[in-house]
Amino acid sequence: RVGKKVVKSKTEKTVLAVYKPAGIVCTEDKREKKNIIRFLNYPVRVTYAGRLDKDSEGLLIMTNDGDLINGMMRARHEKEYKVRVNKEVTPEFIEKMSRGVHIRDKEKNLDAVTRPCTVKKTGKYTFSIILTQGLNRQIRRMCEALGYKVNVLKRIRIMNVELGDLKPGQVRELTEQELKELYGTVKERENAGISRTSE
């Protein structure tokens, strides 16, 4: 206790599933009026483990556990998205997206071929995609490279954590089972990475 203020121990870990609406920015920059920290206004200081671009919506994991954030950033974990595009999704488009797409951006100094990923058509203009990498605006750039424009991009899963019934702006704490699995997977992937680099 400092004066009348109760100071809580930083060891108490908070891990949240947050539905980020489109238009909210993943930044801690206070000059950005629509930043996720201000929008969330959570009583415990938390930050995001992996971004979603401003125009995208859906699941963010937010936490005050720096080790978890670092572990998630290093691990090649699955992230699943639902996407709506401006024209019909063809078998050729699905095949090219799945195989990997060459994306370039001179301004961002980006020139890469995306990793193979799982892509499934879900409707005339919609598909689902599971990524294990997180290049800047990756799905939008992949679609653009193939002549498509993304109209709606929604992340519905990060590893074992699902967006579920959350509505835009809603937050929930992860269940004990989700936490156990999340921490277990991050640790497992980190250990696998250490053993690969030591071989």
Which residue numbers are catalytic? 53
β-pairing verdict for 57-63 and 47-48:
antiparallel
- Helix (H), strand (E) counts: the chain: 5, 11
Distances (CA, A) of 188 to 49, 61, 145, 177, 195: 18, 19, 35, 16, 11
Query: Which neighbouring-strand residues pair with 172?
Result: 17
- Helix, strand, or coil here: 188? helix
* SS3 at position 90: coil
Token code pair at residue 180:
């156990």
